[in-house]
Amino acid sequence: MVIVEKERINKYNTSIQIQEGRKIMAKYLFTFTLILLAVFARLLPHPPNVAPITALALFGGVYLDKKHTFIVPLAAMFISDFFIGIHSEMIWVYSSFVAIGFIGLWLRKNHTIVKTIMATVSGSVLFFVVTNFGVWVSSLSLYPHNTSGLIQCYVAAIPFFRNTLVGDAIFVGAMFGLYELAIKVVPSLRPQKQVI
């Protein structure tokens, strides 16, 4: 009788371990898929500055494990930059996405539609300010290293900023909207609350 009970407990424990293993694999498959989709979106022809990376950084901050908040957008950038090309201002671009990831972590605790819109616009503005400052400060800059040159740099980048805002709004709307819809259909997709 004791042996039968031990076998039943072992089968139950094995079943639980298999279920947990499947959940972990599904989570990593989902994360890997996000990275691949972002890489493909950057590699396919698209208007300048219309890319899913800001959306991915915000999404990671809200829905993924905190450790993936920064890894996912940076991995997508690094992989796609391997094919697109490396440039001297990359540190500014990557830094802006790390900062946007922090906005996503803030949004995790303050998640409403209005605050998601605010976070999206903030991410777009942050990207614009940081990356164009990086262009201006670069030794390869076409702009003089004075206040006038900095202003010229930002003014010249305004058309790209428009694309950034539109692209970020579309990608954030699609990512957040589709994921929230998926959670309603499959409640087990809801992220676990994390203890800090």
Residues sharing a CB contact under 8 Å with residue 1, sequence separation 6 or more, in sequence order: none
Looking at the predicted structure, is the pLDDT value of residue 2 above 50?
yes
pTM for the predicted model, two decimal places: 0.84
Residues sharing a CB contact under 8 Å with residue 157, sequence separation 6 or more, in sequence order: 128, 132, 135
| Separation of alpha carbons 137 and 186, rounded Å | 48
9-50 pLDDT, tens digit each: 666 566 666 667 666 666 677 788 888 889 999 999 999 999
**pLDDT category, 67, cuts 50, 70, 90?**
confident
Average pLDDT over residues 171-195: 80
Sign of CA dihedral 77, 79, 84, 88: positive
Average pLDDT over residues 150-175: 96
The mean of the pLDDT values for the chain is 87
User: Which domains does the chain possess?
Assistant: 2-189 (1.10.1760)
pLDDT in the model for residue 195: 43
pLDDT in the model for residue 185: 82
Average pLDDT over residues 65-82: 92
Q: Using the structure block, give the residue that is written with the tokens 């989902």.
A: 30
Measure CA of the first residue to CA of the last residue in the chain; give whole Å.
44
**pLDDT category, 158, cuts 50, 70, 90?**
very high
| Separation of alpha carbons 102 and 134, rounded Å | 20
SS3 state of residue 50: coil
Average pLDDT over residues 146-166: 95
| Separation of alpha carbons 116 and 119, rounded Å | 5
